[in-house]
Each structure stands twice: as C-alpha cells, then as structure tokens.
Chains A and B, each alone.
Chain A
Amino acid sequence: MAASPTFATAHRSLPGRSRAWLVLAVLLPAAAGAFAWALTAGDLSIPLADVAGALGGTGDDMAARVVRELRLPRALATFACGGLLALAGALMQVLLRNPLAEPYVLGISGGAAVGALGAITLGAATFIVDAGAFAGALAAMLLVFGLAHGDGSWTQTRLLLTGVIVAAGCGAVVTLMLALAPATQAQSMLFWLMGDASGANRPWPALMLLIAGLLLVLPLARDLNVLVRGELAAQALGVRVRRLRYALYLLASLFTAAAVSLVGTVGFVGLIVPHLVRLLLGNDQRVLLPVAVLAGGTLLLAADTAARTAMAPMQLPVGVLTALIGVPVFLFLLARHPGR
C-alpha cells in the first residue's frame, strides 16, 4: 500500500498506543515507588530491605508484623480503591457523556454516607460501618436506577437529575445526623465523610473486584469509544447501546460502592484522574481505562501515605490530600493544553 505524504501525520494524530507505553513506563515505577513508600514510612520507619524480607515471609519481629498485618493490607486497599474510583469515574463520564460526571454524581456516595453514619450513630463496629456504607450505596443505586428508569425512557439527563436529587436528599439526612451526633461521634463521622483509610485492612474484596471489573470492561472499551460519538451513532454502528448502558451503570455503581465502603467518600480521584489521562493520552477507552486504574491507585496510595505520615502521629483525612495534590496538577495540565 503506497502511503501518500499526508500519512506522515498518522502516528502523531494517534497518540494513544505509542504514548500509552511511555506513560506505563512512568506509571509502573511510580506505583512501585508508592508501595515502597507506603510500606517503609510511618511511626516506625522500616528499611526497604526489611520490608522485602517481611514480604518474603522471613523475619518475625515487630517490623515484619507491621508490614504484613498493617501496612500491606492498607496499601493494597487504598490502591484498589483509587483504581476503582478512577475506573468508575471514567465509565460515568462516558455513560453520562458529561465531562463533569464522577463516581458520586448519581448519589451513591450519599447513600453510602447515610448507611455509614447511621451505623456510627448506633455505635457499631468498624466492619458494620463498612457494611452499612455498602448497603446504603446499593440502596441509592437501586433507587436512582428505578426512578430514572420509571417510564422506560432512560435518558442521561433524567438519570443525572435523579442522581443529583437523591444525593441532595442523602446530604440532608447526613447533615441532620451530624447535627444530632455527640462531639465524639461527629469527629469520626467527619473523617468518614472526608475519606479515611485507617480502617481499611481487608483489601481482597476490592482488589478482586478491581481485577474482575477491568476484565469485564476492557473487552467493551471500543464499544465505549463508539458510545462517546452519541447513542444513535453507536446503535447504527452495531453497539447494543441499551445493554451496554445497563452494564456500565451497574459496574460503575458497584465499583464506587466497594471503594466508598472501604475508604469513605474520597473526592477528586474519580473526577480528576480520568481527565488527567485524557489530557495526556486522548479519549481512547482502551488506553484510558487501564491507565486510569493505575494512576488512580497510585494517587490514592501516595495520598494515604502522606496523610498518615505528614503530621504523625495525627492522621489526616486522605480525601483532603487527594484534593490538595489533584487540583493543582489538574489545573497545571489544563493550562498547558489551551486548545483542548
């Protein structure tokens, strides 16, 4: 096939695949670095060599147990949650075809907050709080889905409006519980609302969900590219739009519910990470989704390590850190790409 001179631009205009490898080459070491930092840093500073020994199973001293029983579960949990939130955000942005969409836009965080704060009000144990958050998130998801689906016409405007209204209703209930709570409970409630990974010590369900989710979503990634071109165009190109949208909605909601019940409502990861990746690599979902998972996980893991070490022994809410890191990085990248 003879290439005419105009084809020289082809590879510059398809940045996705070639640049994706470059980004992965940066992100994989960054993720490894974030894990190394998370496992070594803390009240007890543990050298990297001892961490490696602890992970390898040798060493039974205090340091090894800190790594194995405290830091590693928490690091894996925060990484999984960051990945889940970034993935859910990217899916929501395609589903609602709205760049401002994020995992919480459809009221899932509101439902989770009502569930979690309700459990805190009753003085429940940590794992009950997590379960309450998950149940609340699922309840909100079903409520929004049922209401938006009511008359069969399932437009994204209707879905978005229903989600926003349910979130507002949940917000009112949350405010009421905060107002009525005694000071000691109000403090832990506030931490939960701002995102707090200190109780995140059971990483496996979230990690499994993240891996299963990626495996489910990646084969659909090119269908998502088509969906970005509009529902009608997607249908005409052979995509089963209705089914795809149900699947997206359910998966994104499940990812969000799992993340929220583990680390609370951590903001910005789900909104900003997909946008960062989009600014760097374009909107090809086949590249965007896996890179967003890696970037989201790394960001939340680094933020959580900073949150527990910056003002040690005091722990900061990780949601504050993700915002403090994410917002300036995002604004910087946005300013560098004025045309986009």
Chain B
Amino acid sequence: MTTLMPSATQNPLLQAGGLGVRIGERWLCRDLDLLLQPGECLAVIGANGAGKTTLLHTLAGLRPAAAGQLALAGRALQHWPLRELARFRGLLAQQQPDHFTASVLETVLVGRHPHLGRWDWEGAEDERLAHVALAEVGLEGMAARDILSLSGGERQRVALAALLAQAPALFLLDEPLNHLDLRYQIAVLTLFRRLAEAGRGVVMVLHDINLAARFADRIVLLDGHGGACAGSRDEVLQPALLEAAFGHPLRRVEVEGRVLFIPA
C-alpha cells in the first residue's frame, strides 16, 4: 500500500494552531495546538460531553473550526477536494447504522468509494484489499455473512475493516473499542499502533485512560469547560489533571514497570 502514503513526508500529517471548537455559544476547546507526525498515535480523552467527538469531526473537516488553522499534510483543510481528502484521512464513526441487509464484503468495499471513479465498479484489487482488511480484524471467512446477523462487536470490526480498506494515511477513530471484548480491544489498538509505525498517523477518542497510556504517544485531555491540555503522554497523564477533567480522584500506580491509573 505504498501509494497511499502521504507524498510530502516532511509535512506533519495533521497540524492545528490556535484551534477553537464551539457548539452554539459553548467553547469545547480553545487555543489548541496539535502536531501529529507519521508514526504517532494521539489519544483524545475527557468526560462525557466534553467535546471529544466534535473535536474529531473538526479535525476530519466535517465541521468548520470556530477559530485557528488546521492543515493536513501541510495543506489547509479548506483547500482539500472532498474525494482527495477521503483518500487521505478516514473516520470511524462512533455508531454504525445498520438498517438494511448487506453482506460483510459489500459493507467493507464501501471504504473503497473514494478510490473509484464515478462509473467504476469495485475490482479484484479492491476485493483483495477488503479481504486483507477483514483478516486484520479477525473476520476472515465472514465475507458472505449478512451484517444484520452479526453481533455488536463484529459489526464494529466490520466498520474498522471498511476503514482499513479505505487505506487513509490519517486514521480518526471515534471510540474504536465500542462493543469490543478485551481480546479485540488490545488487538485493534495493537493493529493501529503497527499501522502508525508503518508511517501513518492515528487520532483516537478513548475512554480507558490506561489503554491511552499504553498505546498513545500524545494525549489531548478535554476538561469539559473549554480547556484542553495537549502534550506528551507523561505530561498530560497526571492524577491532578485527570481528576480535574473527570471529576473523580485517581491514583497513579506502577505495576511491572507500567503506569496505571485507578479510580480512588
């Protein structure tokens, strides 16, 4: 998949300066500076309603920023044509709407949409990519199944496979661990860690502070009052900051050389 790598590697995948996100009159974050290089994983954490999803949608270019600049691969977001943008960054939505019958393979192939011309049909190469993506999320052999007959965790993995088939350079994941059991939570985060190491970038909204600590290089912590704290993992994951954001005291412990936060 070398052709899908960003062409200008010297540019950061994502760069935000003085970013402000607002819903109505409420500021979710202000003056946020972000930099994501190929190879990095960024976790967005914060309390319910703090604006994690809205921030992610802003980064994806699905809603305008209220202030500041936002650039992907060195190009301002508003200068990206939609189709080209869809080949560069992919978004995993928080919820997967499944109202109609469709096979798993068809659903994953939807991720190839931005790579196809108006009259193209998905070809053998697209199907191969879809099968590879299914294998990555442990759904090999399920291609012919109807998505309506799958469990919640399996549907989540189908959505992840569709995103892998889209093959963007920048992954934006809104709660990628929704409905996943322990094994696949770790497997999915390991997979995206590996993709990052291969030169892509990952921004993911997570609820589990300990998984964020384990898999992310950088953290954005939204405090729910318009404040955002962005920095390296160790800078942001401080008990005092976390307590202020989540409204619950946390204790920092080290177990076998790994830092863990447990609710007090």
Contacts and interface: CB of A to CB of B under 8 A. Distances in A.
Contact of A237 (B113, B118, B128, B148): B113
Contact of A238 (B85, B93, B102, B148): B85
B190 interface: no
Contact of B62 (A14, A99, A232): A232
A278 B148 CA distance: 14
A236 B60 contact: yes
A188 interface: no
B143 A9 contact: yes
Interface string B132-172: 00010000110110101100000000010010001000000
Nearest to A93: B100
B221 interface: no
B43 interface: no
A336 interface: no
Contact of B110 (A229, A232, A282): A229
A97 B93 CA distance: 17
Interface string A277-289: 0110011101000
Interface string B67-100: 0000000000000001101110111010111011
Contact of A222 (B107, B113, B135): B113
B16 to A, nearest CB: 18
Chief secondary structure at chain B's binding surface = helix
Interface residues of A, number: 41
Contacts, number: 116
Contacts of B125: 1
A98 B93 contact: no
Given A236-B60, A238-B83, A13 B97 contact: no
Given A238-B85, A284-B106, A6 B141 contact: yes
B124 interface: yes
A240 B102 contact: no
Interface in A6-40: 6-7, 9-10, 12-17
Interface in B215-230: none
A150 interface: no
A3 B127 CA distance: 11
B141 to A, nearest CB: 6
A225 interface: yes
Interface centre among A12, A223, A232, by most chain B C-beta atoms within 10 angstroms, is A232
A56 interface: no
A338 to B, nearest CB: 10
Contact of A14 (B106, B111, B114, B166): B106
Given A226-B110, A229-B107, A219 B99 contact: no
A108 B244 CA distance: 54
Interface centre among B95, B100, B107, B146, by most chain A C-beta atoms within 10 angstroms, is B100
Contact of B131 (A10, A15, A239): A10
B103 interface: yes
24 contacts: A6-B140, A6-B141, A7-B127, A9-B143, A13-B103, A13-B143, A14-B127, A222-B113, A222-B118, A225-B106, A225-B110, A228-B99, A229-B97, A229-B162, A230-B93, A230-B96, A233-B162, A236-B86, A236-B93, A237-B86, A237-B166, A238-B87, A340-B101, A340-B146
Given A7-B127, A240-B82, 16 more contacts: A6-B131, A7-B131, A9-B143, A13-B105, A222-B118, A225-B110, A226-B113, A232-B62, A233-B93, A238-B83, A238-B85, A238-B114, A278-B100, A283-B102, A284-B106, A340-B101
Interface of B: 57, 60, 62, 82-83, 85-87, 89-91, 93, 95-97, 99-107, 110-111, 113-114, 116, 118-119, 121, 124-125, 127-128, 131, 135, 140-141, 143-144, 146, 148-149, 159, 162, 166
